[in-house]
Chains A and B, each alone.
Chain A
Amino acid sequence: MDKSGYQATILYVVCHMGLIFFLYPSDLFTAMDMGHWIGIGISYALHTAALYVYLKGLTWTAQKNVVDMFRSTGTFFTWLLLIPVFFYFGIAIIITLRAYSEMLTLVFLSSTPLWAIQLLLIGIAFLMAWQGMASMARTGVLLVILFSFPILFVLCLSFQNVDWYYLLPIIDREQTFHFLIKPDFLVSLFVYAGGFFFLGLLPPSIHISLKKMMLGCLLLLPMFLLSVYLPLLTFGQATAELYEFPMLMTIDTVNITWLLFDRITIFFLLSLMAFAMLYLGVTLWILLTLTKRAIPVIPNLYLLIVLTAGLFAISMAIPNWDFLKKLQGWIIPLRMYIFLIVPLITFIIGWRHKHKASRTTEVT
């Protein structure tokens, strides 16, 4: 039982941390070759605005979740509005599952087959989603306690090989805004898009405090910047854009003779994998909640088993890394919908609700 709003904030921060450091830097390096902070700044501003609008809309209709709110527009519209959400999160799980297991085989489980890692990841996500949101929120708190220190430690040490001159020029004379419509940039927005929808589905036992959420959001800004700027300052754009996982390569270059361990990448990777598993769990839980509302007759557990099995099968069916990249490109419209339009609709419905409520009080 959490009345202060910490759990929701921690869950939000943890889900994003699990996403930021892996696929995001490489997408951004492909999309832009100078002035990376402008790209990060624009996407971050959009994220903050979307988050604020979404939460504001939710607070105006207290005690209700997004599904109930959308329902007030009529059944047809509810289906129309929520089916893209369902598809987006389904594909998000498939992509995360596949990409993260490829990454794990690349970094340290080189002889483990992909399906085993994927099965493990989705298995844990299944357990989490089965236990429900309250237990996931508590898990989030536990994960933060366990893994913040290794992550911060590694992030501090990764400054070992930076060359600050790579920061220059701050604004290039030939800086343009063409990157905004590049597919790679739009793909990179996935870290900003999919991590806050679950806030609208939280059970009433977990409170959301707008102020704490905004503080959590502020905490993410240095993480977005570090994930891109650590590789950039170590390798420079020309080299960094060649790596599939620039952040992991950066940490691989750190050489500490006094530390017992040769590679600190493992600490970083495993800590963030724990966060990513929570993200998978939360996303699976979103799918479960949405399906449950659509087809209430089937018991939760069976629904969850069907969902998990289906997602696992689809992610197994992806032939290779290139296809995964293409898949990320195809869902750009869905991503923009989740990122910008859903918060806006929530805001409008919330505003109308508030308006109606204040009018009824006036009448009485």
Chain B
Amino acid sequence: MNKSDINNSHMDNPAKPRTAIKLILLLVGAVPLLAGCWDTKDINHRSLPVIMGISLTEENQYKVFLDIPATNETSSVNIVSETGDTINDIIDDISMNMETQVDLLHLKIVIADKNVARRGMEDIISAFNRSRDISSKTLLAISDQPLDQFFSDMEAKSEQNGSIIYDYFEKNAGWNPQLADTRVWQMFRSIHSYTHDVIVPIIRSGQSTSIECLGAAIIKNGRMTGQIGTDETLVANAFYGKSAFGKIEVMDSATVQITSNRLSHHSWLQDGKPYLRSHLRLKVTILDSRGHPTETQIKEKLEELLTLRLNKMFRKTQKEQADILALGQYFRKHLTREQLQDWRSGYYPNLDFKLRITTVVENRGNLKHL
């Protein structure tokens, strides 16, 4: 080490013992800051609702239901409700009237009444996105029956566990590919995007199971415009690439399970009319068969069935100008940004869309023959 280096090191770190002690004291003094706590409320002074229900009263006010898992022994869930003009106003009211503070940090599902969905949810979704504590991953669902009844059924059934509805939708628990899976951020994107629309599951309380799914609602720009069945939802999910482990009953001959799917697209524009040819490759395994159909028969019937379902759904969405399969995305390179803005109204209704489905039977389960 030469002399200038020594000088520099002396200048950079004054390693005197007294400064070191001072520094250590300073650091120890900073420890209380590390928690970053401010006006903290202990967990037993908070209510953390898991489900929020939103419906409309006859005076066109919102009525909000909150499903709060209880911490005491006697009951497993608390259901509270309140009416008001905005969601935040209502939450504030509930918070005021409860002995604890309502905190929406752990909200998992928002269930909207059909009337709310029909009227449009843009304001609600924007408020959720704006808010500091509601996660943008919160799931959406639409209730087919009045929410009063839905929640009272829920309260009666959820004796063991307060999180039934949540498990119902969760990917690692009770989710099935027949169920649409749409989050708050996707709905927000659908409201503002030129090409993406979404489907939202429609549920009601069931007879023997706690929830029953009736299909999915077609949501265009945050407003419910129509409805599709569970079978069609499965096809839509196959299109999104989320169909794995979905089971399809092929008329009178077999039941198959999708193990994987792949999609490829070819799109072009001719005289202002969009054309799209898609190819869906499915891999399936056979679960059961009726009689002794051949593999080709099953494949043919399956392809026919899926094409039929998709075309039915596609025509419905075309009529409502709601692009739930986000087909407009495949025309991004053909249309300019301004043209893309009228994708839903100007191009989508004229779209010539053909889907070719090829299935490969991966295996026949444990049995060799059909």
Contact = CB atoms under 8 A, between A and B. Distances in A.
30 contacts: A34-B337, A106-B132, A109-B36, A109-B38, A113-B38, A132-B12, A133-B12, A135-B12, A135-B13, A163-B326, A165-B330, A172-B336, A172-B337, A174-B336, A203-B11, A204-B8, A205-B9, A235-B185, A238-B192, A238-B193, A238-B194, A242-B192, A252-B135, A252-B136, A253-B183, A255-B171, A257-B170, A257-B171, A258-B172, A262-B135
B188 to A, nearest CB: 7
Given A112-B36, A252-B136, A165 B332 contact: yes
B183 A1 contact: no
A134 B192 contact: no
Interface of A: 1, 33-34, 105-107, 109-113, 116, 120, 127, 131-135, 163, 165-166, 168-170, 172-174, 203-205, 235-236, 238-239, 242, 249, 252-253, 255, 257-258, 262-263
Given A110-B132, A239-B188, 19 more contacts: A34-B337, A110-B133, A111-B38, A113-B38, A127-B26, A131-B13, A132-B13, A134-B9, A134-B12, A165-B330, A166-B329, A204-B4, A204-B8, A236-B189, A242-B192, A252-B136, A252-B137, A255-B137, A262-B135
A249 B136 contact: yes
Given A110-B132, A203-B8, A163 B193 contact: no
Interface in B312-370: 326, 329-330, 332-333, 336-338
B332 A263 contact: no
Interface in B1-58: 4-5, 8-9, 11-13, 26, 33, 36, 38-39
B247 interface: no
Q: For chain B, which range describes its interface: under 10, 10 to 19, 20 to 34, or 35 or more residues? A: 35 or more
A168 B170 CA distance: 32
B12 A235 contact: no
A236 B196 CA distance: 10
A204 B33 CA distance: 36
A26 B4 CA distance: 47
A120 B38 CA distance: 13
A116 B11 contact: no
Contact of A1 (B9, B332, B333, B338): B9
Nearest to A253: B185
B193 A236 contact: yes
Interface in B161-191: 170-172, 183, 185, 188-189
Contacts of A242: 192
Given A134-B12, A203-B11, A168 B332 contact: yes
Nearest to B40: A111
A343 to B, nearest CB: 26
Q: Which of B5, B39, B136 has the most CB of A within 10 A?
A: B136
A204 B3 CA distance: 13
A169 B183 contact: no
A172 B338 CA distance: 11
Given A165-B332, A257-B170, A174 B326 contact: no
Contacts of B336: 172-174
A120 B189 contact: no
Contact of B192 (A34, A107, A239): A239
A168 B335 CA distance: 10
B12 A239 contact: no
B337 to A, nearest CB: 6
8 smallest CB-CB distances across A and B, nearest first, come from A134-B12, A112-B38, A165-B329, A168-B332, A257-B172, A168-B333, A205-B8, A239-B192
Contacts of B4: 204
A45 to B, nearest CB: 25
A252 B185 contact: yes
A249 B337 CA distance: 24
B357 to A, nearest CB: 21
Given A112-B36, A134-B12, A166-B329, A1 B192 contact: no
B149 to A, nearest CB: 30
A32 B92 CA distance: 39
A277 to B, nearest CB: 13
B167 to A, nearest CB: 12
B13 A134 contact: yes
A239 B195 CA distance: 11
Contact of A116 (B8, B26, B38, B170): B38
A163 B11 CA distance: 54
Interface string B190-223: 0011111000000000000000000000000000
A53 to B, nearest CB: 27
A107 B337 CA distance: 32
Please indicate which of the listed interface residues B12, B33, B136, B137 has the most CB atoms of chain A within 10 Å of its own CB. Answer: B12
Contacts of A166: 329, 332
